[in-house]
Structures are given as C-alpha cells and as structure tokens.
Homo-oligomer: A and B are copies of this chain.
Amino acid sequence: MKCKGLRDDTVSVVIGGEAGQGISRSGELLGKALMRCGFHCYGTMDYPSLIRGGHNFYQLRASSRPVYSQTPYADVLIALNRESVGLHLGSMNAGGGVIHDERDALEEGLGRDRGINLYPVPLTDIVKELGGPDIMRNTVALGAASALIGLDAGTLKQVVAETFEGREKIIKMNEDAIQRGYTYVAGQDYGFGCCLESGERPRGQWLTGNDAIALGAMAAGCKFYSAYPMTPASPLLHYFASHDKAGGTVAIQTESEIAAAMMAIGASYAGIRSMTGTSGGGFSLMTESLSLAAMSETPLVVMLGQRPGPSTGLATYSAQGDLLFAVYGAHGEFQRIVVAPGDVDECFYLAAEAFNLAERFQIPVILLTDKTLVESNQTTDAFDLSRVSIDRGKLVESWEGPGEYLRYRDDEDGVSPRAFPGAEGILVPANSNEHLENGLSTSSSEAVAKMVDKRFRKAQHIRAAVEGLQPIRVYGDKRPRVTLVGWGGTKGPALEALGMLRDDGVKARFVQVVFMEPFPGGLEKYLKGTCVLFEDNRSAQLGTLIRLNTGYAFKHVGLRYDGRPFNPGEIRDRVLEVLG
C-alpha cells in the first residue's frame, strides 16, 4: 500500500458544486472505494443551509496512515460547476488537477501559473449518451478522478452497485458512467503526480459520527429513538427510521423536541433503553424534561450535536459553543454526565457506554458532539462488539420486601431499586414533585433534604465510573515541549497537527478531555510548561471548566468561531506562534 500526495502523504480530493448535485453522496462513495482499497480516509462536507444551488464541497483525504481531518488543500478538484473552480483553485496544491465538464469551457491555461492542470471531461455528454439523469455527471467524474489518482474502477463500481442494490438498470447505468469517465481520463495519460497503490488489508468501515452513535446505541440495546429533525442530529433519526425493522426499534419523528425528550423519558420509565438527539435550539427546549428525568430518576440519553449559535445561527456548520449549557442547563440541582467523543470510535463506544451510565445511575447522560464530528466520515477498524457490555444497574423484577417496594429507597449509594410497570406485585411510581421513598409527593423539610442527599450521594459513584473510562486521553510525545488541549471534533485536526509539529521538530502532545461532567481529576499533571487550548468557540468554554476544576488558566488559546472546523495547519501555526 502506498500513498503519495502532492503535498504530503495524503491524497486530497475536493468535490465542489451546487447543492442538489449529489456531492455528499459522491464523496462518500469515493471514500468507501478508497477504504476498500486499503486506505485510511477522512471526508467532510461543507454546505450552507439551502437545498439547491449555492456552493457545497466535500473534501476527502486518503492515506496509508490514519487521517483525522480535512485540510484546506486539494490535489484533485472535481468541479461540478464553474463556480467551484474559481472558489477552490486558490487552495490547490501545485501539480494538482481539475476535473471539470468540458462544456464549462474554462479559460485555457487557468491555474497554469500555479502548476494546476485542467482535465476537461465530457461529463454532460457522456450522461446524455447513456440516457441518465443530470445528477449522474458526478458518477462520470468519479470514474475520471479514479483514473487520475490510480484507483481501481472496479471497486468503485461495486460500491455504487451496492448502494443501488436491487435497481439493476440504475446500477448498470452508473457502472457505465464510471467506466466512461475512467476510460476517458486513463486514455489521456496525464502523468498525474499523485500515486495510490492499493493495499492488501481493506480497512474495516467508513462511517460518520452519527452512524457510529446509531450503531453504538443499537449495540447497547437502545430500542426507542424519538427526535425532531435538526441539523446535525437528523441523520440519527433517519438512521433509526430506516432501520426500525432491522433493528427491532421504534423510531418516532415527534411534533417537537419537547415531545422527543418526553417520549424518550416515557419509554425509559417503561423499561426501554431510549434516546433522543438534537442540536442546541432543540436542547434548549428539552431542558425542562432533562430536569424531570433527574427528579424522577429516569435514565435518559441525549445526543446534543453542536452547531454555531446563538439561536438558529449557522444551521449547517459546526461549533463547540454549548459545553457549559450541557453541563449547567436545566433548573434545579442534579447529577448528570456529559461526555464528548472525538472520533467515530469514541462515538460508538461512548454512545454504547452512555446507556450503561444512564441506567446504572438513573440520570441523564448527554453525548456532546459537533457537526464536524457527527457528519464527517472516517475509516476505522470494525467495532469490537465484545467491548460493549450491557449493565442496566439496579433492576428488580419482583419484590420480596421487606415492606412495600420503594422506588426511591434511601440506599447508601444513592441509587434506588428500579422496576418497570407491568411487573407482578410491583407498582412503579415516578414523580416530578419532591417525594418520599415510596414516590408520593412531599414537602416535609426532613424528607426533602433526605431525598436531595440521596440523589447527591450518587456523585462519588458516578465519578468513580467516569474515572474508569479514560476521561482524559493523551496522544503524542511523552516529553513534549508543548501541550495542546482540546475536545470533541477538535481532536482530529489536533492529531494531524501533532504530526506536522513532529515534522517541524517540535515535540508535542494532545490532551483530550472526554468527560466534561463530572470533570475528571488529574488533568493538572498535563498542564505543565507551554499549553495551548483549542476550541471551536469564542469563549473557550473548556478553558472555563478547567479553570474551575484545576485553577489552571490558559495563557494561550486558539479559537475558531466562524462555523468551520480547524485546519491542522492553523493549529500547528498557532502553536509555533506561541512557542515564538
């Protein structure tokens, strides 16, 4: 397996065009084909909040070593319209090539000064000849790009065929489209500078953070997903809706986020592992229910996919601006867990674990993600299902006594025996009012304080559980000159930056905070020497939590708050700047 890009050891393909041209689909197919050929890939989509027109682009990077993020550079540009050429030419690597529709008749020699070559392909004409729909232009372009970068057309064809499974005519047409594009470029012998040589062992899987969370939930036995559509969480709903038969699950598009949260709580009360997902605006609407889950001690898992706010903000972009809201949102005081995965693996394993935590402690667990993480594709090894175990905590199925069943029994660890309605001989109360051990409402001073204390006694056990889950993860050099700190979707570019810094001769490490609440102990020991905090927000919210929990105040930060994820180079540059 070999991979040589024009700039480094990755090959980067950008597919640009209008919304509605099937750009995201194309990028995902190409990535899957590359994975099948043994490459590590990362793919992400940049799109504004509109359905047709505008400018979208997908960036795909492939390499023989793991890739964790996008970069601003492209070796190959697949330009599905003229505009894309203008927008992306400036960030192409020298030696790069633009595959575009012959019909666009680009100005001769465009980009030549920067060593960029134009590779016109009769995209429209081929589609016309094949009698396919306009959108098939991108399939032709994919074939052309494969030829350019040395990717085997057969794999691509097979991936496409699987996607259209059962629709033979469409499959045939697409295969032809790929072949035509491939042949057209292969015949030209452009002598393109990128080189990809397939490896033996195909990668395990190619999926988004949302996909991984959905699978993690399935693995954990989640059987109920209720949500109201909201970018970037909608794909979770689509996944559950389209896999309800296969997964044996109930998926509901609710009338609002309030209903979504309340349904998840209702299902959980009735004994089902359930989940809801949303973004910041929807999470705002869920906070009252979150508080109910806490008071009634009903387990609840919420996926909060961040995007830039406040308010509607930038609906289709990325941010990390809801951290403190996730930690402190909702009225009253209660225990919760906020966990922020940083790649697709963590999305899977932590989503699965979220259900155990929610049930063991009978509390809400918030899976805090961001658009970059949940909507971007990554290759990774097949998930290891043996690493997923199911622990439902203190469940009782029948009641021997002593006395009547006490749903809110004042147990030493703060966690009371949980039963489900329908169990013979047990009646299960749940109450939003403060209550006695038997669930009946109370306002007695002593009973109230006792119940508050009971719930708070969970804290130490939750903390212990979290500490056992590697809440802080460290990557890179053991004796670093500089420590990078970050979380969530910033992990990918930070890891890429570590490699760049290594090449620059700078020993660096990246400290990822995975659990935000309860805040893990021991971070202090990494906050030595020069430290730089990177977050996709304006006010360095992880910095706030770190200051609060360790007393450490960052002198150096790198913040991005225009809705775009960091580029690894920006992180590297900022680190070098700090190092002086």
Contacts and interface: CB of A to CB of B under 8 A. Distances in A.
Interface of A: 48-49, 258, 279-281, 283-285, 287-288, 290-292, 294-296, 308-317, 319, 321-322, 324-325, 327-334, 432-434, 443, 445-446, 448-449, 452, 456, 537-539, 541, 544, 547-548, 551, 561-564
Contacts of A296: 311
Given A310-B334, A311-B433, A325-B328, 11 more contacts: A284-B288, A285-B287, A308-B434, A310-B331, A319-B332, A321-B331, A322-B332, A333-B561, A452-B561, A456-B538, A456-B539
Contact of A321 (B48, B316, B333): B333
A290 B281 CA distance: 10
Contacts of A432: 311-313
Given A295-B310, A312-B295, A548 B544 contact: yes
In the A-B complex, the 5 residue pairs with the smallest Cβ-Cβ separation, listed nearest first, are: A309-B332, A280-B331, A310-B332, A295-B311, A284-B288
Contacts of A288: 281, 284-285, 311
Contacts of A316: 443
Given A48-B443, A291-B311, A311-B296, A281 B548 contact: no
Query: Could you say how many copies of this chain the assembly holds?
Result: 2
A325 B284 CA distance: 11
B310 A563 contact: no
Contacts of A287: 284-285, 287, 329
B314 A291 contact: no
B334 A330 contact: no
A329 B325 contact: yes
Given A280-B291, A284-B288, A563-B443, A332 B314 contact: no
A98 to B, nearest CB: 23
A311 B451 CA distance: 14
The listed residue with most B CB atoms (<10 A of its CB), out of A281, A283, A330, A538, is A330
Contacts of A317: 443
B284 A311 contact: no
A446 B285 contact: no
Contacts of A539: 333, 456
B325 A443 contact: no
A280 B332 contact: yes
Nearest to A312: B432
Contacts of A434: 308, 313-314, 563
9 contacts: A48-B443, A280-B291, A281-B288, A284-B291, A296-B311, A328-B329, A329-B329, A333-B539, A445-B563
Contacts of A443: 48-49, 314, 316-317, 563
B309 A295 contact: yes
Nearest to A288: B284
B563 A448 contact: yes
A333 B315 contact: no
